Each structure stands twice: as C-alpha cells, then as structure tokens.
Structure 1
Amino acid sequence: MVDIKLARLPDRTPVKLAITITPDLQSALNDYAAIYAQAYGREEPVTELIPAMLTSFLENVRNFARAREGARKGRP
C-alpha cells in the first residue's frame, strides 16, 4: 500500500432527516439566516445553515465530546 499524507475521506453520503419544529423555532431560524446574510453579505437557506449549526454545537459541547470518545473506546 502506498503511504500518502491524506487520510481516507469519510463517508459523505447525505442522510435526509425530517423533523417537526415549533413556530417559535422556525422564526428564530429565519432571524438567524437574516442576521447571517447581514454579517456575510450572502443569503443561505435555513436548510443549509442547520447542519452547520448542529455540527458547531456538537463540536463545542465538551461533555458530549468526552462521553462520545469514551463510548468509542468502550468506556461508559
């Protein structure tokens, strides 16, 4: 096997997830998208922002990261 620097790419097959949210959450997401557009000068649909928001949230929750790592190593 050839040794290269780039690791094997992870599975990038999209997974569709359908959820139901409250009207208040929908309003907040729309407001966030509007503020995002003001900040970056580029409109993005809420459906494109949500995955990035969830990823950021999960990456920054330390207890979750520790628990997830422990579970991967077989620790409770």
Structure 2
Amino acid sequence: MSTPRKLRLGPLPSSGSTKLTFTCPASLKADLDAYAALHAQTYGEAVDATTLIPHMLETFMAGDRGFRKGSRGKAAPPKSG
C-alpha cells in the first residue's frame, strides 16, 4: 500500500483572474506539466500547468520572508485598466 502524497501546493481555490503571459524554457514547461499530472492524481481534479502557475507563485511569495518583510505596510500597486 502506498502512502498518500502531500504536495506543497494543496487543492486549488476558486478565484478571479487576470491574464499574464510569460516565456519559460521547455524543461520548465515539462516539469510544470509533470507537476500538474501529479497534482491531478493526488487531488482527483484534472488541472493543467497554466492553472497551477498562479497558485505556485502565490505560495512561493507567501513563503518568502524577505518579500513579506519588504512589502509590509506598503500600499498595493495601482491596478491598470
């Protein structure tokens, strides 16, 4: 019997979104696709890398003490549009 995996990125919440486009190396895209497949297998919900990326970045930034310390007390940047 295998032990259930626990990924750093848990089940995805529903949220509004803003479109952002970026370029990455093919090896990173392959890793993102592999992570998406493992995430889908772990949580039983089909998901692609494009859906995971914002949540991965949010988790990364939330865990970055230097960023949190530097952004504490600062106003959010103005929204364009």
CA RMSD of aligned residues (A): 1.8
Question: 1:59 aligns to what?
Answer: 62
In structure 2, runs of 5+ residues without a counterpart are 1-14, 76-81
Runs of 4+ in 1 over 6 A off after TM superposition: none
How many residues are matched? Answer: 61
**Structure 1 unaligned blocks of 5 or more:** 1-11
Identity between Structure 1 and Structure 2 (%): 36
Normalized per residue, the structure richer in helix is 1
Alpha-carbon offset, residue 19 of structure 1: 0.6
* More contact order relative to length (CA 8 Å, sep ≥ 6): 2
Question: What's the secondary structure of 2:72's corresponding residue?
Answer: helix
User: CA offsets per residue over residues 27-76 of structure 1, 9 Å max, x none?
Assistant: 00001001101111111121111111111110111111001115x17xxx
Normalising by the residue count of structure 2, what TM-score does the alignment of the two structures yield? 0.67
Structure having the higher Rg: 1
